[in-house]
Structures are given as structure tokens and as C-alpha cells.
Amino acid sequence: MSASPEILVHTEDSVMTITFNRVDKKNSLTAAMYGHLSDALDSAAGDAAVRVVVFQGHVLIFSAGNDIKDFLSVPPNDSDAPVFRFLRALSTFAKPLVAAVCGPAVGIGTTMLLHCDLVYAGDNAAFSLPFVNLGLCPEAGSSLLLPQLMGHQRAAEALLLGEPFTAETALELGLINRIVPPAEANALAQMQAKKLAAKPLSSLLETKRLMKMSNAPVVAGRIAEEISSFGRMLREPAAREAFTAFVEKRRPDFAKL
């Protein structure tokens, strides 16, 4: 498995913990980091010593989503690009996935949670899906999974307006399982992961497969459709303006687009 200081991977007591560790850039995710995340999930899938995977960030930031500068300079150019490889590995991962979320969880920082089985949040968590504000469209199957989870109107509020929502709202919407003080979120995720790891793996795998089997082909199809739109929109004027504005620390101007 490829090692990286920005994606820490540690396995103990049958639990693989993957830590986003690029705090100075708010744990935004580069193509290289997506590659390491995919490698870690592939390794966990094939390793009998791993029964559960936990994602965590920093107590003040889960992830600011895709690295915008990286997207500007090296936009993913086909469906095998690292970001899309990660989405496929995540959405088809057969073993239980647990997440501990504190601070902002932006874009894929929120949509990846739709593929986790248990999500614990610090009371400082702030979820947001600013794809429209960036001239983009949803990814990770979120255009399907969010409306399924919370109904069209509430998903439209999250996806069309793109405004951040709190841990309390996320709990009410069914996106997370529990809210705790930020300093306790990682420990709670570890505790729940260890409980899962002590159970018969065959039962965990079969139960997760059965829970997801109706939706799995639809999710795979939607992720592919979103990848096609997202890849195209990344190169269009609205996204270029939004990304350039972010780099230049100004508000985007979509008036002429």
C-alpha cells in the first residue's frame, strides 16, 4: 500500500483507521490523496486482518473537499482518475465503514458519508454541498442518495442552495448517528468499530450486502452519470470562474455566464 503523510493509515485490532492529515489546507483532497485513499480501501478489502474501516479528520476540520487548485491545474480527465477511483472503491466497499466528523465537511467530505454505515459527529461539524456555487453538479451518487435519505425538498435545499448545515440538522436528516463533543468523536467511532470488528465478519458482509443490494446498481449508474457531467462541467466557464475566484480570494461573478 502507498504511504503518505497526508493520508495516514493505521490498522489495530482489525480496524483500519484512515486519517485525513493535511490540516494546513483544511484537509482538502488532491489527486494524489485520492490515490492513497483508494489504495487503502483496496488493501482493506483484500486483507483478512481488516474487518472495519474508520475515516477521521482533525478535531477542527474533517475535509474541505476537493483541492480546488488541484482541480484547476489537473482536472480529472477520465473515469479512471483517482477521485473517481476512490468513489467507486468507497461505494462498493463490502466491509463496514465508520466515520468521525468534526468541523467543516465540504463537498465530498459530506457526500462520502452517504457510503458510510455509521457516522459520529462533533457538535462543531458543519456539512455543505456547494457544487452549484462552484459551477458543478453533485458527485458520489449524492444526487440519488440525498433525496432518498431526506426527501426531494430537503435535498434540494442542501444541493441547490449549497448552504452549510449543522450537526443537529444532519442528525434530524438521518445523515449521522449521534452528536458528541468534538474531542470524543474519534474515540466513539473507534469504540463502535471495535464492537463491529468483534462480530462475525460473514454476517456483517451479508447484512450490508442485503441492505444495499436493491440500490447498488442504481448507485453505480448514477455515480457514472455524475462523473460524466462533473468532468465536463469542471472545464466549463462557471467552474473556472468559481475556482479562479477561490484562488484569488474574491467572490465569483457568474453574471455573464
C-alpha cell at 17: 483507521
Rounded to a whole number of angstroms, the minimum distance from the CB of residue 173 to ligand COA is 19
Residue from 35, 76, 104, 141 in contact with ligand COA (CB under 6 A): 104
Q: How many helices (H) and strands (E) in the chain?
A: 11, 9
C-beta of residue 19 within 8 angstroms of C-beta of residue 7: yes
Cβ count within 10 A of residue 117: 20
Q: Of 171-230, which residues contact ligand COA (CB under 6 A)?
A: none
Rounded to a whole number of angstroms, the minimum distance from the CB of residue 139 to ligand COA is 8
Give the CA distances from residue 246 to residues 9, 122, 196, 252, in Å, rounded to whole numbers and listed in that order: 30, 27, 41, 8
Q: Is 3 exposed, middle or buried (0-12, 13-18, 19+ CB in 10 A)?
A: exposed
Rounded to a whole number of angstroms, the minimum distance from the CB of residue 67 to ligand COA is 4
Residue from 130, 141, 182, 231 in contact with ligand COA (CB under 6 A): 130
Rounded to a whole number of angstroms, the minimum distance from the CB of residue 2 to ligand COA is 22
Taking the C-alpha atoms of residue 67 and residue 55, their distance in angstroms, rounded to an integer, is: 18
Taking the C-alpha atoms of residue 39 and residue 20, their distance in angstroms, rounded to an integer, is: 14
C-beta of residue 59 within 8 angstroms of C-beta of residue 23: no
Rounded to a whole number of angstroms, the minimum distance from the CB of residue 75 to ligand COA is 12
Residue 26 within binding range of ligand COA, rule CB under 6 A: yes
- Output the CA torsion 188→193→198→204 (10° steps): 140
Rounded to a whole number of angstroms, the minimum distance from the CB of residue 64 to ligand COA is 3
Residue from 53, 83, 106, 179 in contact with ligand COA (CB under 6 A): 106
Residue from 66, 91, 110, 111 in contact with ligand COA (CB under 6 A): 66
Rounded to a whole number of angstroms, the minimum distance from the CB of residue 76 to ligand COA is 12
Give the CA distances from residue 129 to residues 45, 80, 185, in Å, rounded to whole numbers and listed in that order: 28, 23, 22
Residue 83 within binding range of ligand COA, rule CB under 6 A: no
Closest CA to 222 of 161, 166, 139: 139
Binding mask 131-170 toward ligand COA (x if CB under 6 A, else -) reads ---x------------------------------------
Indicate the residue among 4 and 192 with the shorter CB distance to ligand COA.
4
Residue 67 within binding range of ligand COA, rule CB under 6 A: yes
Residue 88 within binding range of ligand COA, rule CB under 6 A: no
**Which residues of this protein are in contact with ligand COA, per CB under 6 A?**
25-26, 28, 64-69, 104, 106-107, 130, 134
